[in-house]
Amino acid sequence: MRLSFKLPAALLGLAALVTASNVVELDSKNFDQLIGKDRPALVEFFAPWCGHCKNLAPVYEQLADAFDINEVIIAKTDADGVGRELGSRFEVKGYPTLKWFPAGSLEPQEYNSGRDLDSLVAFVQDNSGVKSNIKPPPPPAAKVLDGRNFDDVVDGSKNVLVAFTAPWCGHCKNMKPAYEKVALAFAPEEDVIVAQVNADDMSNKHIAQRYEVRSFPTIKFFPKGSKEPVAYNSGRSEQQFVDFLNENCGTNRTPSGLLNDIAGKIHDLDVLAQKYWSELPSREEVYNNAKAYVTQQSAGLDTRARTAAAYYVKAMERIKAKGDAWLTKEQARLANLLASPSMAPTKLDEIKVKANILGAFVAQKAEELKNDLFNDGQQVIGKAKEEL
């Protein structure tokens, strides 16, 4: 038995219109057959000569691809050609003009948001209740603040860097990749939060007014122990953000998220470590001095600093028990671990601090070797000049 199906003429016409593209092309003949019926529609009124329309075209194609045509119509009409009558009917005064037609209505709503894909998708989803087929991006690394949680986060208990942004702001978009990387880099820091707030959202505008935000992006730093912000006036590169936070938060991060080469090091113990390594007869005395120093200073150190201080003493004990070769082997082992891509950030921090401390033992010897090589080089150059 053969089955046959008959599609309504309007649907047949719609299918024909989207064979090469999911954007439905409208004119004065088919507009009322398709728009204002069972599905909502976003309609672009364009002109072929319009530069802004040409820029929007590839984004609009992506928008049409993102929604099922059986649920939402993404359409366009040449309002300077076959759709001229429609342009007059809906009072189109510039190009491109986008209008939203709810299901069952020919009373449109003007679209006034951004012309990027994210803004267009968000608008269609919010107004239709239909989800796009675009996979949502991963959640931002920078903590999102709004009118509900701003005062709970910026409460003086932590250092908080806040970027006040707007979705349509080009400078904000340009800054976003670097800002996200900085947020990732400082994620292991318990006392540092890198945050952002959409200050153009109506529900957040009272926050922007409170902190006198008049342009975007505006960046303010709220130091731990205070709710009064400090204006951020440095550059917007990863390194500049990192340098600012390190200076104001007492941290030692790099843009990669790893700790830098001074993290965990304590000057007085560095001096003792160098002395322990270079003055063999005095090692027991230096070791006892290091133990005494750690005992005396521990009460005034935070947990991280206490752990680091204790490792100086532990390293001396390992060298004493296993010989000087242990230091070189341990440095090589830690270097291999630091290169591991699967290591947890907190573990990497622990390893980097240990590597920095072990480096303090041989720092003086390395500097002496560097100077010796330089002096030898100068002597070779001097002799060569004499021979000439």
For residue 298 the two structure tokens come to 């521990």
Exactly one of 35, 53, 120, 166 is catalytic; name it.
Answer: 53
The whole-angstrom separation of Cα 292 and Cα 197 is 49
> Exposed, middle or buried: residue 42 (CB in 10 Å: 0-12, 13-18, 19+)?
buried
Helix, strand, coil percentages (3-state) for the chain, rounded to 5, are 50, 10, 35
Exactly one of 50, 130, 301, 343 is catalytic; name it.
Answer: 50
CA 273 from centre of chain? 39
Exactly one of 73, 92, 154, 172 is catalytic; name it.
Answer: 172
The whole-angstrom separation of Cα 34 and Cα 32 is 5
For residue 83 the two structure tokens come to 């759709």
Give me the long-range contacts of 28-35 (CB less than 8 A, separation at least 24): 28/82, 28/83, 28/85, 28/86, 31/77, 31/83, 31/86, 32/106, 33/9, 34/10, 34/73, 34/75, 35/73, 35/75, 35/101, 35/106
* Distances, alpha carbon 142 to alpha carbons 152, 187, 191, 357, in Å: 16, 9, 14, 31
Cβ-contact 172, 217 below 8 angstroms: yes
Tell me, yes or no, if 172 is annotated catalytic: yes
What sections of the chain are H helices per DSSP?
Answer: 9-17, 31-34, 51-65, 84-89, 117-128, 150-153, 170-185, 205-210, 238-249, 267-278, 283-297, 303-322, 325-338, 345-387
For the chain, report the end-to-end CA distance as a whole number of angstroms. Answer: 106
Tell me, yes or no, if 50 is annotated catalytic: yes
* Total residues belonging to the chain: 388
Name, in order, each residue with C-beta under 8 angstroms of 191's C-beta and a sequence gap of 6 or more: 158, 159, 224, 249
Give me the long-range contacts of 316-319 (CB less than 8 A, separation at least 24): 316/273, 316/276, 316/283, 316/286, 316/287, 316/290, 317/287, 319/276, 319/277, 319/361
Tell me, yes or no, if 53 is annotated catalytic: yes
Q: Kindly list the catalytic residues.
A: 50, 53, 169, 172
